[in-house]
Structure 1
Amino acid sequence: MNGFWNFFWLIFWAFAFVAYLMVLFTILVDLFRDEKLNGWWKAVWVIFLIFVPWLTALVYLIARGRGMAERNSRSRETVPEDTDYYTHPTPSATPAADIQQAQELLDKGIINANEFDALKAKALGNRF
């Protein structure tokens, strides 16, 4: 029975340690993401996180928790909702621009002559 409780406490303390590391890294990321905070204050927070980690983490979460939530929500707003933007490139205005882009790819060796001909035919075929 003693082995079970030793295992139980090992799991408990491992979970607590991983949770603490997650909080610590979240604080560090938030600290360096904050544009309003002076570099000296960032250094002070980091020094206190090193020497008095549990108390500093608790004080940081209480004192700057609202700002953490705002910075986190602002960072999510920069990601566009429309994933089509990443999967479908914007077509150019003219077939000449498409052919010029394909020619540059051919010159750089990224595509071969057959692929260039296919892109050229596609550029000319889509416009007429």
Structure 2
Amino acid sequence: MTGEMTLANDYPILGAFWTVLFFVLSVLWLILLFRIIVDILRDDMTGGVKAGWLLFVILLPFLGVFVYVAVRGRGMGEREQRHARARQHDFDSYIRTTAGTGTSQAEQLAKLVEMHDKGAISDHEFEKAKTKVLH
């Protein structure tokens, strides 16, 4: 072996700490940068304003991110909450349509019997609806 070999005792614990800290801060920085880019694209600004903010954030990332958070930071949270509520509403409506009406067979049969007793449906309609509920 002609090159120098780096051993564990050549890499002090403080160096390891700084390496891990730098890595974690880099990941957090990328997360913040991408969240801001997503917020810019999700917002209802005009195309020119979006393009301006994107150029500012991409060409001067540190300054762009800090200015964006200072100017539009409060709105970021509101837009994120609005988007989360919309996703939850879509999910709830999907579950409701997938699960059906949400009433049990017994409840549906009780309604059919009540409608039949009142004379709202004929015997034939009652039998047809009862067969549909039971199958």
TM-score (norm 1): 0.63
Query: Once the two structures are superposed, what CA deviation does each residue of 1:45-81 show, in whole Å capped at 9, x if it has no partner?
Result: 1111122101110110110011111111111222138
1:124 aligns with 2:131: yes
Superposition deviation, residue 124 in structure 1:
2.9
| Distance across 1 between alignment mates of 2:47 and 2:132 | 57
* Equivalent residue runs for 1:1-40 within 5 Å: 3=11, 4-35=13-44, 37-40=45-48
Residue of structure 2 equivalent to 1:57: 65
How far 1:126 moved relative to its partner? 2.1
Higher-RCO chain (CA-CA 8 Å, sequence separation at least 6): 1
The SS at the match of 2:100 is: coil
Return 5+ residue gaps in structure 2 as ranges: 1-8, 103-129
Q: Which stretches of structure 1, 4 residues or more, deviate above 6 A after TM superposition?
A: none
Q: How many residues align?
A: 96
Q: Which amino acid aligns with 1:85?
A: R
Deviation, 1:84, is: 4.5
Aligned to 1:88: 99
Q: Which has the larger radius of gyration?
A: 2
| TM-score, normalised by the number of residues in structure 2 | 0.60
User: What fraction of aligned residue pairs are identical, expressed as a percent?
Assistant: 33
Runs of 5+ consecutive residues of structure 1 not aligned to the other structure:
92-122
Distance 1:86 1:19, change over 3 A: farther
